[in-house]
């Protein structure tokens, strides 16, 4: 360190020493960041004072006085802004969960098709993936919505299935179940049979490890879970009554309706995300060395067990991290619902409530925090899962 | 069979086995190799024959290519009404940019093509000068589009159509890469405060949808600026889009940085290189090369995300389309508009992804497995 200590200037000497330099840089960075924040906050305070506003969440308890066309909890225009927020939140979660389920199924199908031996299937999947993922998702949402609105018939000429399901440009009308008391007995039996199936699987595993005997666990469990509750349902005299929708005047009454906005958003988000998931699945399966399959065959595993015990666990390790970020993307993309009038969280609290109360700061803060919570939750669950399945180096 | 003797290595190539050539054999091995495969092929064929002919008819055969209103289109055929697109094409391309000034947009676009050629194609003669030109291109383009200094000023609220998409896309792409590199380096930094700051920025940006950020930019930004400042909406959007994309870019580049063995940094240290020289000369060239697919994917994502600006009232092609559909003469043509815009985006994004494949191939310096 002789050449630094001989330098005449104290500051230069401090700068040339690695430790002091890092301290100086960090102090400068903190000062800069704090200054920026202070400046922004000062501006905000002055600006809010000039127009006589404050930051205050009391508006959440005032009546929202607007209608939401899809609500899963009790809501009417006299409900509070907070209820509107919860309704929007539930709608966002609903579209996210439904979208994730459909996108995963379609995506895995696409990924497998892409790797198929069949030239035609492979090319269909390729064209689909390339076309879908190179066009903005907003465009897909609008396009699917447009197709549904323009090409489905009016309620009078609905497509129908067995006079119970009706599809028209107002949505999909389907019967609503009306649960009789005995129905909960069936639910109890179903739970009991699932618990039994879980216990039986563990028991079969133990037997297999001790004796090598393999029970047909999958088939027995399927039988238990399907047959016992259905039998009970039949014996208890079908304790669900269905309210069937019927055409009255210009629209359907009774039953429930899945609105076209929901269908459009659901289909568009799923088909868009499925294209990405397809590529992820393909990459994951291709990442498993063919030698692994051959080794499994050499050990005498049949092809189902090879797939289940050797290929899929290894492929999942590659698939899961990018898959998570696709799930997150889908959830975030569901905010585009506002373009077609599906009332999600951005459209309720971040849209109409914001415009009615003029409380931009509070509303946007709620929306941003909600999305941040989603992402942090999903990514921490996924990190846990990743740690759970990752390769253990010995 | 002649028993001619050959010196080892001089035997002429034999023709391929007869059961591997020809159309029939190709069909047999690729489409009908097993009963399952045959079944799948037939299902696919059925699907395609049900889907493609009606689509083709609607798009081309029954379509109307000229006319002045929807009624005229309907009279010509039951298919798509492209007359609307051709009638409004100028609006789709230039938005509300003043007609007599549109040469400036065209000129800027041509200059952009030259810049792209210089940046993307490394065998262009005298590339050094072209690259220097590419560095000053943004200023020239800004001057051309906005005006001032001898040109008539055009307010950015007149920007629209494909031109707006290109402005947002190109600006976002060119600024998000350097910013993303800085954020990624900051996230890997040894200085805890810089690291924490970068991590929180990246996680925040990645945790919220772009549309909420755009709302913040359009509704709330004026609260955080000194009283009386009037900040151009397009500029706010550009800043938000760039920041948003740079967070994703940072994560992609971080992946590349993590893939570089620690020995590279240690080697650079032992050669006496300072931090920035190590990064510039040793680490980043390798890390960026690995992350090319991810970087291009982020570019494509950014480019597609430019459509979201319609939600805060900017007029990109989608916005123009939706606005002109309100014209009573053309009611109900949304599908045509969406397909037209979709094709535009497909062409742009697909060529970007093809270019990234080409670049990956070109930059491979190791042996391929």
More confident residue, B334 or A179: B334
When pLDDT is averaged across residues A110-129 and rounded to a whole number, the result is 90
Distance from CA of B122 to the nearest CA of A (A): 26
In this structure, the answer to whether residues B55 and B170 fall within a common structural domain is no
Which chain B residues have a beta carbon less than 8 Å from that of A137? 304
Option in A46, A130, A350 nearest B215 (CB): A350
For B318, other C-beta atoms within 10 Å of its C-beta total: 29
Q: Tell me, what's the pLDDT at B365? A: 67
Q: Is residue B167 part of a domain?
A: yes
Window 214-243 of B, Cβ < 8 Å to A: 215-216, 219-220, 222-227
Query: Does A332 contact B191 at a Cβ distance shorter than 8 Å?
Result: no
In this structure, the answer to whether residues B172 and B56 fall within a common structural domain is no
Largest pairwise CA distance in chain B: 97
Q: Tell me, what's the pLDDT at A391? A: 67
Q: Is residue B368 part of a domain?
A: no
Window 31-70 of A, Cβ < 8 Å to B: 33, 40, 43-44, 46-48, 50
What confidence tens digit (pLDDT) does each residue in A293-352 have? Answer: 999 999 998 888 888 888 888 888 888 888 888 998 999 999 998 888 888 888 888 888
Which phi and psi (to 5°) does residue B159 adopt?
Answer: -65, 145
Judged by phi (left if over 0) then psi (alpha if -120 to 50, else beta), residue B162 lies in alpha
In this structure, the answer to whether residues B48 and B166 fall within a common structural domain is no
Q: pLDDT-derived band of residue A117, with 50, 70 and 90 as boundaries? A: confident
Q: Could you give the angle at the alpha carbon of B105 between the alpha carbons of B90 and B359, nearest 5°?
A: 105
What is the interface size between A and B, counted as CB pairs within 8 Å?
A: 147
When pLDDT is averaged across residues A369-374 and rounded to a whole number, the result is 91
In this structure, the answer to whether residues B90 and B3 fall within a common structural domain is no
What confidence tens digit (pLDDT) does each residue in A194-226 have? Answer: 998 899 889 988 988 888 887 888 888 888 888
Q: Tell me, what's the pLDDT at B136? A: 87
Q: Is residue B41 part of a domain?
A: yes
Q: Is residue B335 part of a domain?
A: yes
Q: Is residue B226 part of a domain?
A: yes
Which phi and psi (to 5°) does residue A159 adopt?
Answer: -70, 140
Option in B44, B204, B350 nearest A120 (CB): B44
Q: Which two tokens stand for residue A63?
A: 């009546």
CA nearest neighbour of B214 among B239, B237, B244, B234: B237
Q: Is residue B130 part of a domain?
A: no
Q: Cα dist. B15→B1, B18, B105, B151, B208 in Å?
A: 15, 8, 58, 69, 61
Q: Does A289 touch chain B (CB under 8 A)?
A: no
Compute the distance between CA of residue B322 and CA of residue A372 in angstroms, rounded to an integer. 31
- Among B40, B200, B321, B342, the strongest candidate for a mutation testing the A interface, having the largest count of A CBs within 10 A, is B342
In this structure, the answer to whether residues B33 and B89 fall within a common structural domain is no
Q: Tell me, what's the pLDDT at A1? A: 43
Query: Does A335 contact B211 at a Cβ distance shorter than 8 Å?
Result: yes
Alpha helices in A51-172 (DSSP H): 81-114, 119-133, 137-151
Window 345-364 of B, Cβ < 8 Å to A: 345-346, 349-350, 353
Number of separate helices (H) and strands (E) present in chain A: 15, 8
Query: Does B338 contact A142 at a Cβ distance shorter than 8 Å?
Result: yes
CA nearest neighbour of A367 among A335, A339, A328, A333: A335
In this structure, the answer to whether residues B215 and B357 fall within a common structural domain is yes
Domain holding B33, by residue range, is: 1-61
Radius of gyration in angstroms for the set of CA atoms belonging to chain A, rounded to a whole number: 29
% of chain A surpassing 90 pLDDT: 27
Q: Which two tokens stand for residue B47?
A: 């699907």
Q: Tell me, what's the pLDDT at A296? A: 93
Q: Looking at the predicted structure, is the pLDDT value of residue A5 above 70?
A: no
Count: domains in chain B: 2
In this structure, the answer to whether residues B57 and B158 fall within a common structural domain is no
Distance from CA of A221 to the nearest CA of B (A): 28
Q: Which residues pair with A171 in a beta bridge?
A: A168
Query: Does B346 contact A142 at a Cβ distance shorter than 8 Å?
Result: no
Compute the distance between CA of residue A126 and CA of residue A132 in angstroms, rounded to an integer. 10
Q: Which residues pair with A166 in a beta bridge?
A: A160, A173
When pLDDT is averaged across residues A48-65 and rounded to a whole number, the result is 81
Option in A134, A339, A371 nearest B208 (CB): A371
Which phi and psi (to 5°) does residue A110 adopt?
Answer: -65, -40
In this structure, the answer to whether residues B44 and B187 fall within a common structural domain is no
Q: Tell me, what's the pLDDT at B248? A: 92
Q: pLDDT-derived band of residue A4, with 50, 70 and 90 as boundaries? A: very low
In this structure, the answer to whether residues B43 and B160 fall within a common structural domain is no
Compute the distance between CA of residue B195 and CA of residue B183 in angstroms, rounded to an integer. 9
The nearest alpha carbon in chain B to A369 belongs to B208
Q: Cα dist. B111→B119, B136, B142, B165, B316 in Å?
A: 12, 11, 12, 17, 21
The nearest alpha carbon in chain A to B41 belongs to A120
Neighbour-count burial of A127, counting CB atoms closer than 10 A to its CB (0-12 exposed, 13-18 middle, 19+ buried): exposed
Q: Does A119 touch chain B (CB under 8 A)?
A: yes
If DSSP codes are grouped into helix, strand and coil, which group holds residue A114? helix
If DSSP codes are grouped into helix, strand and coil, which group holds residue A167? strand
Q: Which two tokens stand for residue B10?
A: 């001089």
In this structure, the answer to whether residues B253 and B287 fall within a common structural domain is yes
Q: pLDDT-derived band of residue A2, with 50, 70 and 90 as boundaries? A: very low
Q: Provide the ipTM.
A: 0.87
Question: Is-contact A229 A190, C-beta < 8 A?
Answer: yes
Query: Does B227 contact A332 at a Cβ distance shorter than 8 Å?
Result: no
- Among B211, B332, B355, the strongest candidate for a mutation testing the A interface, having the largest count of A CBs within 10 A, is B211
Q: Tell me, what's the pLDDT at B61? A: 83
Q: Looking at the predicted structure, is the pLDDT value of residue A107 above 90?
A: yes
Compute the distance between CA of residue A50 and CA of residue A40 in angstroms, rounded to an integer. 15
In this structure, the answer to whether residues B24 and B159 fall within a common structural domain is no
Q: Is residue B296 part of a domain?
A: yes
Which chain A residues have a beta carbon less than 8 Å from that of B192? 26
Neighbour-count burial of A224, counting CB atoms closer than 10 A to its CB (0-12 exposed, 13-18 middle, 19+ buried): middle
In this structure, the answer to whether residues B228 and B358 fall within a common structural domain is yes
Q: What is the pLDDT along chain B (369 residues), one digit of tens a residue?
A: 567 888 888 888 888 887 778 888 888 888 888 888 888 889 989 999 998 998 888 888 888 888 777 778 878 877 888 888 888 888 888 888 888 888 888 998 999 988 888 888 877 788 788 888 888 888 888 888 888 888 888 888 888 888 999 999 999 998 999 999 999 999 988 888 999 999 999 989 998 999 999 988 888 887 888 877 777 888 889 999 999 999 999 999 988 888 888 899 899 999 999 888 999 999 998 898 888 888 998 999 999 999 999 888 888 888 888 888 888 877 777 888 889 899 999 999 999 999 888 888 887 766 554
Lowest mean pLDDT among A5-14, A90-99, A188-197, B156-165: A5-14
Radius of gyration in angstroms for the set of CA atoms belonging to chain B, rounded to a whole number: 27
If DSSP codes are grouped into helix, strand and coil, which group holds residue A125? helix
Window 188-217 of B, Cβ < 8 Å to A: 190-194, 197, 203-204, 206-212, 215-216
Which phi and psi (to 5°) does residue B145 adopt?
Answer: -75, -40
Q: pLDDT-derived band of residue A394, with 50, 70 and 90 as boundaries? A: low
Q: Is residue B238 part of a domain?
A: yes
Option in B193, B215, B335 nearest A30 (CB): B193
CA nearest neighbour of A345 among A369, A379, A378: A369
Q: Provide CB contacts within 8 A for B253, sequence distance 6+.
A: B180, B181, B184, B287, B288, B291, B294, B295
């Amino acid at each position: 360190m002789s050449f630094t200590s001989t330098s005449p200037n104290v500051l230069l000497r401090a700068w040339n020493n690695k430790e002091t330099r890092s301290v100086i840089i960090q102090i400068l960075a903190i000062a800069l960041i704090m200054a920026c924040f202070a400046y922004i906050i000062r501006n905000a305070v002055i600006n809010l004072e000039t127009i006589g506003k404050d930051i205050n969440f009391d508006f959440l308890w005032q009546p929202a006085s607007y209608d939401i066309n899809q609500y899963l909890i009790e809501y009417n225009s006299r409900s509070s802004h907070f209820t509107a927020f919860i309704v929007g939140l539930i709608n966002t979660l609903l579209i996210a969960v439904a979208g994730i389920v459909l996108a995963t199924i379609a995506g895995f199908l696409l990924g497998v098709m892409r790797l198929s031996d069949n030239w035609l299937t492979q090319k269909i999947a390729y064209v689909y993936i390339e076309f879908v993922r190179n066009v903005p998702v907003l465009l897909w949402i609008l396009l699917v919505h447009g197709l549904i609105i323009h090409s489905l018939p009016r309620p009078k000429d609905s497509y129908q299935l067995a006079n119970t399901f009706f599809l028209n440009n107002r949505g999909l009308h389907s019967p609503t179940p009306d649960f009789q008391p005995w129905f909960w007995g069936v639910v109890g039996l179903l739970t009991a049979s699932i618990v039994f199936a879980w216990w039986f699987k563990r028991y079969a595993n133990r037997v297999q490890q001790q004796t090598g005997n393999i029970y047909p666990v999958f088939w027995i469990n399927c039988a238990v879970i399907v047959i016992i509750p259905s039998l009970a349902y039949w014996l208890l005299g079908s304790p669900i009554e269905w309210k069937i929708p019927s055409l009255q005047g210009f629209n359907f009454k009774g039953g429930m309706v899945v609105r076209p906005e929901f269908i459009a958003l659901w289909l568009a988000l799923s088909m868009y995300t499925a294209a990405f998931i397809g590529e992820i699945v393909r990459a994951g399966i291709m990442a498993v060395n063919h030698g692994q399959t051959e080794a499994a065959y050499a050990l005498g595993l049949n092809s189902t067990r090879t797939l289940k015990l050797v290929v899929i666990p290894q492929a999942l390790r590659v698939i899961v991290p990018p898959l998570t970020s696709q799930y997150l993307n889908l959830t975030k993309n569901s905010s585009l619902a506002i373009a077609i009038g599906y009332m999600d969280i951005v459209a309720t609290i971040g849209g109409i409530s914001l415009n009615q109360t003029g409380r931009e700061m509070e509303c946007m803060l709620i929306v941003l925090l909600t999305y941040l919570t989603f992402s942090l939750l999903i990514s921490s669950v996924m990190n846990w899962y990743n740690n759970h399945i990752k390769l253990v180096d010995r | 069979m002649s028993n001619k003797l050959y010196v080892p290595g001089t035997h002429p190539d034999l023709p391929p086995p007869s059961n591997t050539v020809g159309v029939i054999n190709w069909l047999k091995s690729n489409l009908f190799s097993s009963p399952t495969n045959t079944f799948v092929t037939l299902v696919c064929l059925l699907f395609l024959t049900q889907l493609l002919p009606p689509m083709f008819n609607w798009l081309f055969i029954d379509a109307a290519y000229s006319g002045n209103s929807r009624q005229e289109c309907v009279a010509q055929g039951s298919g798509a009404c492209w007359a609307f697109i051709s009638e409004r094409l100028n609006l789709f391309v230039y938005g509300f940019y003043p007609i007599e000034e549109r040469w400036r947009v065209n000129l800027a676009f041509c200059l952009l093509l030259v810049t792209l050629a210089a940046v993307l194609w490394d065998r262009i003669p005298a590339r050094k000068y072209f690259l220097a030109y590419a560095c000053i291109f943004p200023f020239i383009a800004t001057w051309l589009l906005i005006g001032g200094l001898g040109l008539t000023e055009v307010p950015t609220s007149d920007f629209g159509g494909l031109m707006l998409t290109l402005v947002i896309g190109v600006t976002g792409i060119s600024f998000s890469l350097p910013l993303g590199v800085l954020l990624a380096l900051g996230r890997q930094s040894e200085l805890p405060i810089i690291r924490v700051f970068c991590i929180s920025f990246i996680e925040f940006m990645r945790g919220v949808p772009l549309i909420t950020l755009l709302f913040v930019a359009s509704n709330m930004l004026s609260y955080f600026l000194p009283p009386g400042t009037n900040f151009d909406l397009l500029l706010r959007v550009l800043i938000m889009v760039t920041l948003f994309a740079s967070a994703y870019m940072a994560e992609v580049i971080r992946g590349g940085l993590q893939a570089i063995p620690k020995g590279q940094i240690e080697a650079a240290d032992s050669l006496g290189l300072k931090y920035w020289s190590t990064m510039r000369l040793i680490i980043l060239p390798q890390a960026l090369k690995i992350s090319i697919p991810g970087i291009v994917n982020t570019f494509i994502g950014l480019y597609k995300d430019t459509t979201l600006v319609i939600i805060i009232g900017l007029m990109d092609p989608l916005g123009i389309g939706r606005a002109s559909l309100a014209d009573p003469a053309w009611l109900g043509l949304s599908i045509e508009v969406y397909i037209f815009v979709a094709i535009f985006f497909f062409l742009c994004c697909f060529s970007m992804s093809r270019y990234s494949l080409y670049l990956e191939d070109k930059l491979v310096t190791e042996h391929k497995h």
